Amino acid sequence: MRNTRSIHLGPRARRVIRFAAGFVNPLVLPLAGRRWMPIVGILHHRGRRTGRMYASPLGMRPAGDGFVIPLTFSEHSAWYQNVVAAGRGVVTYGGRNHEVGSPEVVDFAVAAPAFPRYERLQFRAIGITQFLRLTAASDKEESMSIEKSRRSPGLALGVIAVAQLMVVLDVAIVNVALPSIQHALKFNATDLEWVVNGYAIAFGGLLLLGGRTGDLFGRLRMFVIGALVFTAGSLAGGLALTSAALIAARAAQGVGAAIVAPTALSLLAETFAEGPARNRALGVYSAISAGGGALGLLLGGVITNYFSWRWILFVNVPVGLVLAFVAPRVLVASRGTRGRLDLPGAAAVTAGATLLVYGLSRASVHGWSDSTTLVTLGAGLALLALFVAVEAISRQPLMPLTVFSNRNRTGAYALSLATGAALSGMLFLLTLYLQNVLGLTPLQAGFAFLPTALGVIAGAGLTSRLIARTGPRVPMTAGSLMVAIGLFWLSSITVHAEYAASVLGPLVVLAVGLGQVFVSTSFVAISGVSPSESGLASAVLNVGRQLGGSIGIAVMGTIATSVSKDQLAGVRLTQEAVNHALTAGFSTGFQLGGLIALAGFVAAIVAVRRPRPAF
């Protein structure tokens, strides 16, 4: 290829020229023919750098993991022949050089989604039917690794870890402050549950949408936006003077969390290459994800006891602002992929997941026979079924169903659902047992969960080193089995049990198992996923955990309430009788949680076949 003069224009100028070309080109085409097809030809430049061929050919568009180019000009043909001969080339796009390889000629139907409508019309008008598809190769990875090497991976992990901690803490941190909130804002008993459910419903309902927006518009950009939305919701909640204002602020927090959670995990995958470094980072991330609920109960008790319930929300404000400021300086800024947001799919899954989470939350309070609960659950399931049907026929789906084509990944999603249910149900019931039966204060109950957080950290640290030698199957199965053992052991509680003798041991066993499960499922969920879908893969994992949490609280809470009511039927109501009935209900709930964990163990055994998955 000859060296030619390159003309470099900024992205804004390029957009203006392309927009104008959309109107001018159709007028020029009938007269000028194929050679002058795009008026934006001044954007074309080619030459040699460091001995490698490069070009930004006319009409090139990103598609998947590479680029698509219409084969229209003699220049394209010559460039294409050189790329085929060399097996690789370099294209310039978005101000960066991208090394590409695996050249393949594809037809119009395959390449069309990468181009805007007016360009597709132009292609049809002049009979262009062949396109060159190129796969992005090592140049992108090299440039990203150079960028990462200039930044502190420890600081990057710190930003991701703090963001994840902020999100998971707020799932449980308000629980111990509910009596104080009820007294301060004059909540009635029915509306008080919305302080918790408002966050959970917005979080769970918008997770898939949050993950996909990160893929389309840039994960770092959406991470910062999510952190700012979460911070604004926290500030509004701390300043709330009415119950409605607090519920709305908690919903805003949930919206921010639904963006932060999936983008945080996908940013971790971008920052740390597969290997020991990523395994260690996943250990930290997973320890926070699994132990954050227990830590939230502890911090909630401390803050409520020594300060005001408002500081449970205010504490997020400086943290969120620091994250929004530091993240762009330490995390890799990946560009979003070109594509459209699947609005019908987004509407169906958001409404369906929201109704399902709300129905499950309502079932834990009003029971499964409540007509509103049944209608809500039925509508949620119907909308989710509609979502699957929409995704199957969509050209640019919000959640490509191929994400479930990997057997190991599907098993990880199933296990995350079961483990999320067992963990959230356990935290809910054990908090009530410690305070209502053993008589612990909120602060004492919070400290009672400290061994859970420590056990999760230990299990996650062990797994991050073990997984490189054994693969994820061993910690997935061993961890889920330990969770089941811990819950069955916990079901042996009595009215006069001692914490150290009857609660501490099961909590430690369960926590170590949780650490193993969370690391291994996170590892499987993001390993081998294309960069354009890492946010989606992370979102599906988080949806499983969040939806599982709602299922666990609803199912385990309902069965515990039912057993307790049966125990009190026809019995003289004394404090001793009430405590016995409550304990029987909690014990049955823990047994059900153990069965759920065993179901996750079976899913891991059946689905994850290979000891070392070939990602």
User: Which residues lie below 8 Å from residue 79, measured CB to CB, with a gap of 6+?
Assistant: 1, 46, 53, 55, 57, 89
For every residue of 480-528, which 3-state class applies, written as one string?
HHHHHHHHHHHCCCCCCCCHHHHHHHHHHHHHHHHHHHHHHHHHHHHCC
Predicted pLDDT of residue 37: 39
CB 554 within 8 A of CB 502: no
Residue 137 reports pLDDT greater than 60: no
Higher pLDDT, 190 or 155: 155
User: Which residues lie below 8 Å from residue 123, measured CB to CB, with a gap of 6+?
Assistant: 70, 108, 112, 115, 129
What's the whole-number mean pLDDT along residues 47-51?
Answer: 35
For every residue of 324-343, which 3-state class applies, written as one string?
HHHHHHHCCCCCCCCCCCCH
Q: Quick one: tokens of 120?
A: 């597709």
d(CA 388, CA 397) in angstroms, rounded, equals 10
Residue 28 reports pLDDT greater than 60: no
The band of 21, judged by pLDDT with boundaries at 50, 70 and 90, is low
For residue 412, the Cα-to-chain-centroid distance in whole angstroms is 14
d(CA 471, CA 411) in angstroms, rounded, equals 14
CB 205 within 8 A of CB 350: yes
Q: What SS3 state is found at 3?
A: coil
Q: What SS3 state is found at 122?
A: helix
The band of 380, judged by pLDDT with boundaries at 50, 70 and 90, is confident
Predicted pLDDT of residue 482: 92
CB 535 within 8 A of CB 211: yes
Predicted pLDDT of residue 51: 33
Predicted pLDDT of residue 338: 56
Residue 309 reports pLDDT greater than 60: yes
Predicted pLDDT of residue 321: 92
Q: Which residues, in sequence order, are bridge partners of residue 131?
A: 70, 106
What's the whole-number mean pLDDT along residues 11-26?
Answer: 56
The band of 96, judged by pLDDT with boundaries at 50, 70 and 90, is low
The band of 427, judged by pLDDT with boundaries at 50, 70 and 90, is confident
d(CA 167, CA 109) in angstroms, rounded, equals 42
What's the whole-number mean pLDDT along residues 282-298?
Answer: 73
Residue 440 reports pLDDT greater than 50: yes
Predicted pLDDT of residue 530: 63
At position 485, the amino acid (one-letter code) is I
Residue 528 reports pLDDT greater than 70: no
Q: Which of 101-115, 316-330, 579-593 has the lowest mean pLDDT?
A: 101-115
pLDDT tens track for 390-406: 877 777 777 777 767 77
pLDDT tens track for 538-571: 777 777 777 787 778 778 887 888 888 888 877 7
In the chain, the largest separation of any two C-alpha atoms, in whole Å, equals 97
d(CA 296, CA 300) in angstroms, rounded, equals 6
Task: Select from 99, 337, 388, 95 the least CA-distant residue to 221.
Answer: 337
Task: Give the count of beta carbons closer than 10 Å to the beta carbon of residue 494.
Answer: 13
Predicted pLDDT of residue 483: 92
For every residue of 65-118, which 3-state class applies, written as one string?
CEEEEECCCHHHHHHHHHHHHHCEEEEEECCEEEEEEEEEEEEHHHHHHHCCHH
What's the whole-number mean pLDDT along residues 598-602?
Answer: 89
Residue 239 reports pLDDT greater than 70: yes
CB 218 within 8 A of CB 336: yes
The band of 454, judged by pLDDT with boundaries at 50, 70 and 90, is confident
d(CA 236, CA 246) in angstroms, rounded, equals 7
Task: Select from 429, 574, 553, 438 the least CA-distant residue to 494.
Answer: 438
The band of 486, judged by pLDDT with boundaries at 50, 70 and 90, is very high
Residue 423 reports pLDDT greater than 60: yes
CB 464 within 8 A of CB 283: yes
Burial of 497 (0-12, 13-18, 19+ CB in 10 A): middle
Q: Which of 8-12, 126-130, 497-501, 551-555 has the lowest mean pLDDT?
A: 8-12
* Backbone dihedral angles phi then psi of residue 258, each to the nearest 5 degrees: -65, -20
Mean pLDDT, the chain, whole residue set:
75
Gyration radius of the chain's alpha carbons: 27
Q: What SS3 state is found at 46?
A: strand
Residue 471 reports pLDDT greater than 60: yes
Q: Which of 25-34, 285-294, 428-437, 576-585 has the lowest mean pLDDT?
A: 25-34
Q: Quick one: tokens of 440?
A: 């612990």
d(CA 263, CA 331) in angstroms, rounded, equals 12
Q: Which residues, in sequence order, are bridge partners of residue 55?
A: 46, 91
Predicted pLDDT of residue 484: 92
Rounded (5°) CA angle 506-508-512: 120
Predicted pLDDT of residue 391: 77
Q: Which of 281-290, 296-305, 593-602 has the lowest mean pLDDT?
A: 281-290
pLDDT tens track for 265-286: 778 877 776 667 777 777 777 7
Residue 410 reports pLDDT greater than 70: yes
The band of 135, judged by pLDDT with boundaries at 50, 70 and 90, is confident
The band of 142, judged by pLDDT with boundaries at 50, 70 and 90, is very low
Q: Quick one: tokens of 441?
A: 């204060």
Task: Select from 101, 124, 100 the least CA-distant residue to 112.
Answer: 124
Higher pLDDT, 583 or 300: 583
